[in-house]
Structure 1
Amino acid sequence: MINNLAREIYEIAHLTGTFTLRSGQVSNEYFDKYLFESNPIVLAKVAEELVPLIPNGIEVLAGLEMGGIPIATALSLKSNIPAAFVRKRAKEYGTCKLAEGTSIEGKRICIIEDVVTTGGQVILSTNDLRAAGAIVEDVICVIERNPEGRRMLEEIGLKVHSLFKMEELIDAGKSRR
């Protein structure tokens, strides 16, 4: 089942063509994570496989803007754990909240992210959430793209729970060819 899901994600999200990457480099391959996140059947399967990765005692699933939000929503539906939606920075109007949805203050939360590469946004959001009174010790991601990201997250006291390493998706995609 898990190998089939890896293959499905790869087939949906792996694109070929000419793409300019965030780094400015040009690549003939691109992995568009939003393609699997927007597919309700695949997203439900992902959430089902992520439920066992949720550590005991988690009170809130904190989906990071933007890719972590659909994952956190689907995971909340499967686990019955409330979700919060974490902005990259607190909005400057209305409630001025960093995290929308359920309250995070004093609660043990698990950050939910779609892909972890360097861990940069997870680190920033973890610091913001901790400053807002949340207890943050865990992060769940669908895809761990680079081991450096895990190392950086572990350095700030986070335990990383990933469903797939990028190599596993690539191997699953190639095994079908």
Structure 2
Amino acid sequence: MDPLQLAARIDATCRLTGSFTLRSGATATEYFDKYRFESDPALLRAVAEAMVPLLPPGTGVLGGLELGGVPIATVVSSLTGLPVVFVRKQAKEYGTRRLVEGADVDGAVITLVEDVLTTGGAAREATLALRGLGARVGTAVCAIDRSGLDGGPLLDVDVATRSVLTRADLDAARAARDRSR
């Protein structure tokens, strides 16, 4: 799917208007609900297909970040045949008590998969945790980079960001849609 068309579909699906209370406690009249594209099989597949060419050579394992990166990483894994691990925000407190579910990551070259990157907090924490387990992490691919930063928000931990779309792409798609009305 053409990137502009993908941006337009995601924006139309995910940008909601109304009254929303944000995590900060502030209220907003607009909200971007990323789970709407992740729960739509056609959009999820389109995002995953657009993500495949962004994977760096040498990627051995995909690292899907809880929660939004998991469905995307699973579809990318299905498309590429690459194994996937699921990285929790914190280790579970029962059973195996693992932070990373799936294969052993020691020595693995892992490309992180995330839905939306803004500040990169979860991806930064996952990078450090995976490196602590012996993995090599140098790239994060995301559906949408909302950071607005050249190179993405993870340069402080030496992780390059590659994105299918940016916030500017979504805003441009919205503006084009508004002009055509």
Fold-level similarity (TM above 0.5):
yes
User: SS of 1:30's equivalent?
Assistant: strand
Provide closer, same or farther for how the CA distance between residues 150 and 121 of structure 1 changes in structure 2, counting only shifts above 3 A: farther
Within the alignment, does 1:85 sit opposite 2:86 as a pair? yes
Aligned to 1:71: 72
User: SS of 2:173's equivalent?
Assistant: helix
Provide closer, same or farther for how the CA distance between residues 159 and 60 of structure 1 changes in structure 2, counting only shifts above 3 A: same
User: SS of 1:142's equivalent?
Assistant: strand
Q: Which moved more, 1:145-154 or 1:70-79?
A: 145-154
Aligned to 2:59: 58
User: SS of 2:154's equivalent?
Assistant: helix
Aligned to 1:153: 154
Provide TM-score, normalisation by structure 1: 0.96
Q: Is the 8 A contact 2:118 2:153 kept in 1?
A: no
Return the letter of the residue paired with 1:126: T
Aligned to 1:18: 19
Return the letter of the residue paired with 1:153: L
The whole-number CA distance in structure 2 between the counterparts of 1:28 and 1:67 is 23
User: SS of 1:66's equivalent?
Assistant: coil
Q: Is the 8 A contact 1:117 1:149 kept in 2?
A: no
The whole-number CA distance in structure 2 between the counterparts of 1:71 and 1:149 is 24
Q: Is the 8 A contact 2:152 2:161 kept in 1?
A: no
The whole-number CA distance in structure 2 between the counterparts of 1:56 and 1:105 is 19
Provide TM-score, normalisation by structure 2: 0.94
Aligned to 1:169: 170
Q: Which moved more, 1:163-172 or 1:94-103?
A: 94-103
RMSD, aligned α-carbons: 1.3
Return the letter of the residue paired with 1:41: A
Q: Is the 8 A contact 2:154 2:161 kept in 1?
A: yes
The whole-number CA distance in structure 2 between the counterparts of 1:167 and 1:152 is 16
Cα distance, 1:147 vs structure 2? 2.6
Aligned to 1:47: 48
Cα distance, 1:151 vs structure 2? 5.0
The whole-number CA distance in structure 2 between the counterparts of 1:168 and 1:136 is 27
Q: Is the 8 A contact 2:38 2:44 kept in 1?
A: yes
The whole-number CA distance in structure 1 between the counterparts of 2:155 and 2:62 is 19
The whole-number CA distance in structure 2 between the counterparts of 1:48 and 1:163 is 10
Q: Which moved more, 1:93-102 or 1:13-22?
A: 93-102
Q: Which runs of 5+ in 1 are unaligned?
A: none
- Partner deviation per Cα, 1:52-95 (whole Å, 9 max, x = no partner): 00000101110000001011011111111111111001112211
